[in-house]
C-alpha cells in the first residue's frame, strides 16, 4: 500500500511513524498528514499493517492500555462520523504495545463516492490524547455493481 505523505509545521518537535515499512516524519506533537490512496466504494480496503508510532528520539509510543480511534467524516466540522474504527471494536489491533505497533484490519468500505477526511486518535493509559495521523481519503465510484 502506498501513501502520499504531506507535512506541515516545522517548529514543533516531531515523532516518527513507520507505515508498511516506510518511515514518515511527524506524529508526536503535530499530526502527520497522510492522504490515503483513492479507494473504490464497496471494495475491500486492505487496511494498514505494521504501523509504528515513535517519538523524535526513536523511542516507541507506549500503547499499553491505550485505545485507538479512527473516524472518517465528510467534513471536519461534521458532528458524527460516517465510519468509525477502533481498538475497542477490534477494527484496530495493537500488535506490539510496548513497541508502538498497530494495524488496521482489512474490511469492506461501504461509503458513497466522494471526498472524506479522517484522523487517528490515541488515548494513552494516563488519559493523554494525541492525534498522530490525519488526512484525506477519496472514495471513487465503482464501474461494476
What are the residue ranges spanned by the domains of the chain?
4-139
Question: Which pLDDT band holds residue 18 (cuts at 50, 70, 90)?
Answer: low
**pLDDT at residue 95, as a whole number:** 93
**pLDDT at residue 29, as a whole number:** 58
17 or 82: which leads in pLDDT = 82
Fold of 4-139: Immunoglobulin-like (2.60.40)
**pLDDT at residue 17, as a whole number:** 59
d(CA 69, CA 84): 7
Q: What is the pTM of this model?
A: 0.80
* Interval 87-95 mean pLDDT: 94
Which residue, 104, 93, 100, 140, is CA-closest to 124?
Answer: 100
**pLDDT at residue 23, as a whole number:** 56
d(CA 12, CA 5): 17
d(CA 97, CA 53): 10
The predicted-structure confidence for 51-86, as pLDDT tens digits, reads as follows 888 777 778 889 999 999 999 999 999 999 999 999
**pLDDT at residue 24, as a whole number:** 57
Residue 125 scores a pLDDT above 80: yes
Which residue, 83, 86, 102, 106, is CA-closest to 94?
Answer: 102
* Interval 28-52 mean pLDDT: 82
Amino acid at each position: 500500500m502506498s501513501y502520499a505523505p504531506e507535512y506541515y509545521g516545522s517548529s514543533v518537535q516531531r515523532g516518527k511513524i513507520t507505515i508498511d515499512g516506510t518511515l514518515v516524519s511527524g506524529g508526536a506533537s503535530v499530526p502527520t498528514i497522510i492522504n490515503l490512496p483513492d479507494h473504490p466504494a464497496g471494495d475491500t480496503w486492505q487496511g494498514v499493517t505494521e504501523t509504528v508510532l515513535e517519538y523524535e528520539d526513536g523511542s516507541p509510543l507506549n500503547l499499553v492500555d491505550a485505545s485507538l480511534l479512527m473516524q472518517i467524516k465528510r467534513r471536519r466540522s461534521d458532528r458524527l462520523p460516517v465510519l468509525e474504527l477502533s481498538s475497542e471494536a477490534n477494527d484496530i489491533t495493537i500488535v506490539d504495545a510496548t513497541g508502538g505497533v498497530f494495524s488496521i484490519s482489512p474490511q469492506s468500505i461501504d461509503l458513497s463516492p466522494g471526498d472524506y477526511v479522517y484522523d487517528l486518535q490515541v488515548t494513552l493509559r494516563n488519559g493523554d490524547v494525541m492525534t498522530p495521523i490525519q488526512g484525506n481519503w477519496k472514495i471513487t465510484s465503482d464501474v461494476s455493481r
